[in-house]
Chains A and B, each alone.
Chain A
Amino acid sequence: MAKAPGAALPDPEAPDGITDTDLWQVMQTVPLGAGVLAGGAVALLVLGWLIVYLLVFLPRGTVG
Chain B
Amino acid sequence: MTQVNPQLSERRVLMTELLWSFGVGVLVVAIIGMVLVTALTMGVNPPSNVERIDPKTLHLSGEFAEQNLGTTVTSDGIIARVIATQFMFVPRCIQVPEGRQVTLRMTTPDVIHGILVTGTNVNTMVVPGYVAQVHTVFTRTGDLLMPCHEYCGLGHSEMYAVVQVVSQNKFRPDSNGRAVCAQR
Inter-chain contact B16/A35, CB cutoff 8 Å: yes
Q: Residue B119 at the A interface, CB < 8 A?
A: yes
Q: For chain B residues 94-152, which have a beta carbon within 8 Å of chain A?
A: 119-123, 134-139
Asked whether A63 and B1 contact (CB < 8 A) given A46-B31, A49-B31, the answer is: no
- Count of A-B residue pairs with CB < 8 Å: 74
Asked whether A63 and B136 contact (CB < 8 A) given A27-B9, A31-B13, A58-B44, the answer is: yes
Asked whether A61 and B4 contact (CB < 8 A) given A35-B20, A38-B20, A53-B34, the answer is: no
Q: Mark A15-39, 1 if CB is under 8 A from B, else 0.
A: 0000111011001000100010011
Q: Is the interface of B mostly helix, strand, loop or mixed?
A: mixed
The size class of the interface chain B forms with chain A is 20 to 34
Q: Is the interface of A mostly helix, strand, loop or mixed?
A: helix
The size class of the interface chain A forms with chain B is 20 to 34
Contact among A19, A31, A49, A63 with B135 in the assembled complex (CB-CB below 8 Å): A63
CA distance A54 to B120 in the complex (A): 14
Closest 7 CB pairs of A and B: A64-B45, A8-B1, A21-B2, A63-B121, A61-B139, A24-B4, A60-B121
List chain A positions with a Cβ less than 8 A from chain B. 6-8, 11, 19-21, 23-24, 27, 31, 35, 38-39, 42, 46, 49, 53, 57-64
